[in-house]
Amino acid sequence: MDRRTFVKAGCIGSASLLMQGLDPMIRAESAPTAVPPVELRGLVDYKPSPLGMPGLFPARVIEIREANAIVRNRVSQPVVGRMLERAMKELTGERSAREAWAKFIQPSDVVGIKINPSGAPACCSSPEIVREIISSVQSLGVPARNIVVYDRYSYEIDLASYQALLPAGIRIVGIQEAFASGGGYESNVYCEANFFGEWETRSYMANIVVREVNKIINVPTMKDHSASGVTGALKNLAYGTFNNVARTHRAPYSFTNPLIGMMCTVEPLRSKSVLHIMDGMRQVWHGGPLTQVQDFIDQPGILLVATDPVAMDTIELEAIEKTRRERGAPSLWQHDSKSITADNDEFHRDASKNLFYRQPGHIAAAGHLGLGIAELKQIDHRVLSV
Amino acid sequence: MMRETGNSKAVEDWPTLLKDNARSGGQKPFPAPSPEGAVWQFRAGGSVRSAPILKDGNLYVTSVAGALHAIDVVTGTAKWKFQAGSQVHSTPSLFRDQILFGCDDGKVYAVNRHDGTKLWEVPTGAEVWASPVIRNGVVFFGSADTRVYAVDAASGERRWVQELGGRIYSTIYATERQLYLGCGDGKVYCLDSASGKALWSAATGNGIDSSPAVVDDLVLIGSEDFFFYAISANAGEVRWKYETGLGIASSPAVWNDLTFFGSKDGFLYALETQTGKLRWKTRVGDVVTAPPMVGDGVVFIQAGGTFALDTSNGKILWRAGLAGAIQSVPVLAGETIYLASLSGEIYALR
């Protein structure tokens, strides 16, 4: 039986309404057309897991800060190791790190670690944090061959030198070589919509997510994003798992809201994504996701840990908004046409400029799709130090 | 100079990474003027993450589509193509009539350079991205399985295997008796080339994927800890180190008293080889991971485009907007420059 997951009439309608309702600053010129019908097709007969988003601890976000975690732009693995252990115990309420990790990972699992290398080398998932995650997963009895560090573009993985920096035996996989190359995607699991009249209207889910791994540990970075407002747990999963996603932006417009959240609802991505560890060693507050301009990259030494990606991204959004206020940059919610530029160089020089009307409302929209909690007052945000 | 480069009698030959095993990257007078246009363009059918090599009018190029191409440099057309078992990131090397390269299927292949037939293959436990280096009839290479291999160049028969502490992506520098390489465990190793036994190791602060050059008892190599190191080739002591803004994957090229390398901070650096003192640095892009290549008074680097800089002051002489491959190296042959691109095009520029 073909069990397509149609969201045309239901969720999409809701998401469209949400986008209008949750983005009070949005202006008519930022939404040239209504969100088109979107068809989501998940894996047939896939049984959802209780570990799936929002996971075991909805609304809970553990934030841990340590100034010594990053010194002169170098991440200290011993320090982040201690931070991760402390945060995992706090998230789960377990007394030992091993018990905490065992809430999510079993020895028989094939574990995917979804890194974010876009923006490498200036800001990407720190190899030091990834090494600590690998070590924790291996401590549960998962063999190296059953751990896969992956992302969409192999050349971006290469830029960060993950190959040389991660332990031997684990697999490091770039789903595709470059933007134009194909392969590595599941033809029966996709998201279909025609946003701007593009010739290819489907985005397919990566095989590695559909077929190879059964648990995903998501390791996003803390960055603003010229189209989606921020790129955090949700976007790292959605736009790092499906192909052909750049078509959702056409400057200055973007349909990242609601598409990011919608993609995260598709099975098996939703069920397999059991834990999110946000690397906030560096925080990109303008120029994301690809900037290499150090003036826009702070080094706060933060780690966020959660099972709820919506709550996590809400905290990230608040943090980046705070930094932008402090630096005199306009809010990520601002939709003033005077801020829009088509000049990429100007965007990378001037924090008051942007290429798109940003869509941070994608986080709340994902919350309304059931992926987590976006309301700040409802988030159990615990701030710790080592 | 310590060189074994196969049959490199012709001036235009370019038989291994950075032209020869001394990582000289040329050292002949090359034309400084900007090329005026493309003579031909060849599509490799997959992204090129390695550097081409040149021999007797044939350009040999590997691609991540898993192919080794032999291209006629006059016409830009394919002479033959060899299909390996998986993606190829390794820059090929030439030894007599063999083209040698590593593959993501864990094998190193030896292919007849005249007709593209396989001569032998040798397996390892993981991908081989480093370029095989040949000295005294022995092929040396490291694998991501953490081991260094020595095999007979004629037969592929294994001589010895030495396990190190991390993944290996660094191309070995081979002298008469020693091998030098960096490792993912952050150490620079010196191995005895006859046995593979580790003679010394020197620790850096993070993993290494840069490949070393050796000049006047100095092993020159960058690390992902942001530092560039000069280490005593005999004793493994750090003589000096120089800090850049980000990690260093670029391998150095040495010319006269200067050492050139790129950093992921986007700069090309020129240091005095003996002291580590900065002579100049020039921003050439957002990120530099490719090795520079230096000729007579001109240093070339691929960083989003191809740049030619004056070795004396770092001034950019020209820039070609082609060949976005950030890990490849241009090949200079007379008046022609051969470039490989990330999108899989090979260009002959003149």
Closest in B224, B264, B266 to A164, CB measured: B224
- Hey, are the CB atoms on B64 and A177 less than 8 Å from each other? yes
pLDDT score of B28: 56
Average pLDDT of the segment spanning B114-124: 98
**Tens of pLDDT, residues B146-176:** 999 999 999 999 999 999 999 999 999 999 9
Rounded CA separation A193/A175 (Å): 22
Residue of chain B minimizing CA distance to A348: B286
> Average pLDDT, whole number, for chain B?
89
pLDDT score of A25: 36
pLDDT score of A13: 31
Greatest extent of chain A over all pairs of C-alpha atoms, in Å: 57
The answer, for B245 touching chain A at a CB cutoff of 8 Å, is yes
Amino acid (one-letter) located at B183: C
What is the pairing mode between strands A147-153 and A253-254? unpaired
Rounded CA separation B292/A380 (Å): 52
- Hey, are the CB atoms on B47 and A158 less than 8 Å from each other? no
Nearest to A265 by CA among A52, A107, A1, A119: A52
What is the pairing mode between strands B173-174 and B158-163? unpaired
**Tens of pLDDT, residues B294-339:** 877 899 998 888 899 999 999 999 887 765 555 678 888 878 888 8
The answer, for B335 touching chain A at a CB cutoff of 8 Å, is no
Question: What are phi and psi for residue A254, nearest 5 degrees?
Answer: -150, 140
| A173-176, Cβ contacts within 8 angstroms, sequence gap of 24 or more | A173/A148, A173/A149, A173/A208, A174/A150, A175/A150, A175/A151, A175/A206, A175/A207, A175/A208, A175/A243, A176/A152, A176/A243
The answer, for B227 touching chain A at a CB cutoff of 8 Å, is no
Amino acid (one-letter) located at B286: D
Rounded CA separation A15/A28 (Å): 17
Residue of chain A minimizing CA distance to B130: A164
- Hey, are the CB atoms on B47 and A164 less than 8 Å from each other? no
Residue of chain B minimizing CA distance to A177: B47
Residue B142 pLDDT grade (very low, low, confident, very high; cuts 50, 70, 90): very high
**Tens of pLDDT, residues A289-324:** 999 999 999 999 999 999 999 999 999 999 999 999
**Tens of pLDDT, residues A146-199:** 999 999 999 899 999 999 999 999 999 999 875 545 579 999 999 999 999 999
Closest in A158, A168, A178 to B146, CB measured: A168
pLDDT score of B277: 98
Contacts of B326 in chain A (CB under 8 A): 159
Residue of chain B minimizing CA distance to A168: B167
| Test the B interface: residue of A163, A297, A344 with most B CBs within 10 Å | A163
Sign of the Cα torsion A234, A238, A241, A246 reads negative
- Hey, are the CB atoms on B246 and A74 less than 8 Å from each other? no
How is residue A264 written in tokens?
């995260």
The answer, for A344 touching chain B at a CB cutoff of 8 Å, is no
Number of Cβ atoms within 10 Å of the Cβ of A202? 18
The answer, for A71 touching chain B at a CB cutoff of 8 Å, is no
Rounded CA separation A185/A243 (Å): 8
Rounded CA separation B142/B154 (Å): 19
Residue A101 backbone zone (phi > 0: left; psi -120 to 50: alpha; other: beta):
alpha
Contacts of B47 in chain A (CB under 8 A): 155, 177-178, 181
pLDDT score of A9: 30
Cβ contact A125:A116 at 8 Å? yes
Rounded CA separation B302/B290 (Å): 6
Residue of chain B minimizing CA distance to A181: B46
Q: Say which residue the tokens 């008796």 belong to.
A: B177
The answer, for A342 touching chain B at a CB cutoff of 8 Å, is no
Rounded CA separation A153/A299 (Å): 25
Rounded CA separation A259/A132 (Å): 32
Containing H/E element for A8?
Answer: none
SS3 sequence of chain B: CCCCCCCCCCCCCECCCCCCCCCCCCCCCCCCCCCCCEEEEEECCCCCCCCCEEECCEEEEECCCCEEEEEECCCCCEEEEEECCCCCCCCCEEECCEEEEECCCCEEEEEECCCCCEEEEEECCCCCCCCCEEECCEEEEECCCCEEEEEECCCCCEEEEEECCCCCCCCCEECCCEEEEECCCCEEEEEECCCCCEEEEEECCCCCCCCCEEECCEEEEECCCCEEEEEECCCCCEEEEEECCCCCCCCCEEECCEEEEECCCCEEEEEECCCCCEEEEEECCCCCCCCCEECCCEEEEECCCEEEEECCCCCEEEEECCCCCCCCCCEEECCEEEEECCCCEEEEEC
The answer, for A294 touching chain B at a CB cutoff of 8 Å, is yes
pLDDT score of B326: 57
Residue B260 backbone zone (phi > 0: left; psi -120 to 50: alpha; other: beta):
beta
Contacts of A164 in chain B (CB under 8 A): 166-167, 169-170, 184, 207-209, 224
Q: Tell me the pLDDT of chain A (386 aa) as tens digits.
A: 333 333 333 333 333 333 333 333 333 344 566 899 999 999 999 999 999 999 999 999 999 999 999 999 999 999 999 999 999 999 999 999 999 999 999 999 999 999 999 999 999 999 999 999 999 999 999 999 999 999 999 989 999 999 999 999 999 999 987 554 557 999 999 999 999 999 999 999 999 999 999 999 999 999 999 999 999 999 999 999 999 999 999 999 999 999 999 999 999 999 999 999 999 999 999 999 999 999 999 999 999 999 999 999 999 999 999 999 999 999 999 999 999 999 999 999 999 999 999 999 999 999 999 999 999 999 999 999 87
| Test the B interface: residue of A131, A153, A159, A299 with most B CBs within 10 Å | A159
Supply the DSSP symbol for A182: -
How is residue B42 written in tokens?
């060849």
Nearest CA of chain A to the CA of B330: how many Å? 19
**Tens of pLDDT, residues A91-101:** 999 999 999 99
| Test the A interface: residue of B143, B264, B284 with most A CBs within 10 Å | B264
Residue B103 has pLDDT above 70, yes or no: yes
Closest in B129, B208, B246 to A121, CB measured: B246
Residue B5 has pLDDT above 60, yes or no: no
Nearest CA of chain B to the CA of A14: how many Å? 41
Q: Say which residue the tokens 């998986």 belong to.
A: B86
pLDDT score of B165: 97
pLDDT score of B293: 87
Residue B36 pLDDT grade (very low, low, confident, very high; cuts 50, 70, 90): confident
How is residue A154 written in tokens?
């192999």
Domain boundaries defined on chain A? 5-385
Cβ contact B99:B16 at 8 Å? no
Rounded CA separation A193/B193 (Å): 60
Residue B24 pLDDT grade (very low, low, confident, very high; cuts 50, 70, 90): low
Supply the DSSP symbol for A243: S
- Hey, are the CB atoms on A159 and B289 less than 8 Å from each other? yes
Q: Say which residue the tokens 């051969």 belong to.
A: B338
Which neighbouring-strand residues pair with A231? Answer: A223
Nearest CA of chain B to the CA of A376: how many Å? 36
Of A34 and B199, the one with more pLDDT: B199
Nearest to A62 by CA among A257, A212, A278: A278
pLDDT score of B336: 86
Number of Cβ atoms within 10 Å of the Cβ of B92? 26
Question: What are phi and psi for residue A293, nearest 5 degrees?
Answer: -80, 110
Residue of chain B minimizing CA distance to A293: B286
Chain B, 148 to 177: residues with Cβ < 8 Å from chain A are: 166-167, 169-170
Rounded CA separation B289/B73 (Å): 27
Strands (E) located in A5-135: 5-6, 39-41, 60-65, 70-71, 74-75, 111-115
**Tens of pLDDT, residues B215-244:** 989 999 999 999 999 999 999 999 999 999
- Hey, are the CB atoms on B167 and A164 less than 8 Å from each other? yes
- Hey, are the CB atoms on B287 and A164 less than 8 Å from each other? no
pLDDT score of A364: 98
Q: At what angle do helices A233-241 and A309-326 cross, to 10 degrees?
A: 110
- Hey, are the CB atoms on A166 and B167 less than 8 Å from each other? yes
Does the predicted TM-score (pTM) go above 0.80?
yes
- Hey, are the CB atoms on A165 and B207 less than 8 Å from each other? yes
- Hey, are the CB atoms on B224 and A166 less than 8 Å from each other? no
Residue of chain A minimizing CA distance to B205: A74
pLDDT score of B21: 57
Contacts of A292 in chain B (CB under 8 A): 266, 286-287
Chain A, 357 to 376: residues with Cβ < 8 Å from chain B are: none
- Hey, are the CB atoms on B246 and A159 less than 8 Å from each other? no
Chain B, 190 to 219: residues with Cβ < 8 Å from chain A are: 205-209
Rounded CA separation B225/B241 (Å): 11
Question: Above pLDDT 90, what percent of chain B?
Answer: 73
Q: What is the ipTM of this complex?
A: 0.89
Rounded CA separation A214/B277 (Å): 52
Nearest to B251 by CA among B291, B220, B215, B200: B291
Rounded CA separation B212/B133 (Å): 12
Nearest to B325 by CA among B89, B59, B57: B89
Nearest CA of chain A to the CA of B165: how many Å? 9
- Hey, are the CB atoms on A181 and B287 less than 8 Å from each other? no
Superfamily in which the A5-385 domain is placed by CATH? LarA, N-terminal domain (3.40.50.11440)
Rounded CA separation A217/B82 (Å): 39
- Sheet harboring B238-243: ordered strands across? B213-215, B218-222, B227-232, B238-243
How is residue B283 written in tokens?
């921003």
Greatest extent of chain B over all pairs of C-alpha atoms, in Å: 50
Structure-derived torsion over alpha carbons of residues A151, A156, A162, A163, reported in degrees to the nearest 10: 90
Question: What are phi and psi for residue B318, nearest 5 degrees?
Answer: -160, 165
Question: Above pLDDT 70, what percent of chain B?
Answer: 89
pLDDT score of A236: 98
Supply the DSSP symbol for A199: S
Number of Cβ atoms within 10 Å of the Cβ of B76? 17
The answer, for B305 touching chain A at a CB cutoff of 8 Å, is no
Cβ contact A229:A357 at 8 Å? no
- Hey, are the CB atoms on A161 and B286 less than 8 Å from each other? no
Residue of chain A minimizing CA distance to B207: A165
